[in-house]
Structures are given as C-alpha cells and as structure tokens.
C-alpha cells in the first residue's frame, strides 16, 4: 500500500474548476484502542481499496490506536459526510468479519461522530486579501 506524493492541483470538468480537500478524524466506539495488531494496516488497505468506488483520493492517512486521520481529496459533487459514512460502514463490516476480537470488545466499530474540516493551500487571510485586491484591478 502506498500513498503517492500529492501536489496541490486544480481539476476541472464540465464548467467547473475545483480543488477540495478535507481533514477527517473518526474514532472507535468508546475511543477504545483497538486499531492495533494488524487491524490498523488492514484498515489502511480497505480505505485505499475503495478510492475509485467512492470517488475520493487519499492524500495522507494515519491510523492511531484510538482514532483515524485522513486527508482526503473529493470532487465537489461528492458529499463529504456521505463519503466518510461509506468508508466507516465498509471498513466496520469487513474488519469485524476478519477480526472477531472487535465484536467482543465493542458493540460497533465506529462512533457516529466525526470531525471534518476543509483544507486550503492558503490561509483565510490570503484569500481575503486576494478578494480585496481584486477591487484594485
């Protein structure tokens, strides 16, 4: 499994030019430290496996024993919440089948909660200045 180096680029289709990245964090139920002993590596494989099916690209990923960080690139027509829910649902189903210890330790693999923040190549101040400077052109 390899995540290739990512260079911020703009994509286009139809009449749209875009670049949409999100920082996503989600945790196992009760924040239990269950993402260990091969479960972490298998989780990474499963997330990469569904990139094309769900329409996202993983830029960066880190699995800690009690939470997951994703830096994900999405088309603007793809709902980020739905995408994260699909990832969580698929990985929960497969991991609980492959690792019965997960069924014994927690009733469901993931909490319903998630953190999602949009990520830009520049700060808010830079964008504000750019927009303000457009008046001077």
The catalytic residues are 130
- What DSSP character marks residue 37? T
Give the burial string for 18-32 (b: 16+ CB within 10 Å, else e).
Answer: eebbbebbbbbbeee
Q: Is 120 helix (H, G, I), strand (E, B) or coil?
A: coil
**Burial readout 114-126 (b: 16 or more C-beta within 10 A, e: otherwise):** beeeeeeeeeeee
């Amino acid at each position: 499994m390899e995540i290739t180096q990512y260079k911020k680029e703009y994509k286009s289709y139809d009449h749209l030019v875009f670049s949409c990245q999100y920082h996503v964090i989600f945790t196992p139920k009760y924040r239990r430290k269950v993402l260990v002993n091969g479960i972490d590596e298998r989780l990474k494989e499963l997330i990469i496996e569904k990139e094309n099916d769900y329409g996202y690209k993983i830029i960066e990923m880190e699995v800690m024993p009690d939470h997951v960080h994703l830096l994900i690139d999405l088309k603007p027509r793809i709902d980020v919440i739905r995408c994260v829910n699909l990832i969580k649902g698929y990985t929960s189903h497969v991991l609980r089948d492959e690792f019965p210890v997960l069924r014994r330790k927690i009733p469901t693999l993931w909490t319903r909660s998630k953190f999602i923040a949009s990520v830009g190549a520049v700060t808010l101040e830079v964008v504000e200045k750019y927009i303000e400077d457009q008046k001077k052109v």
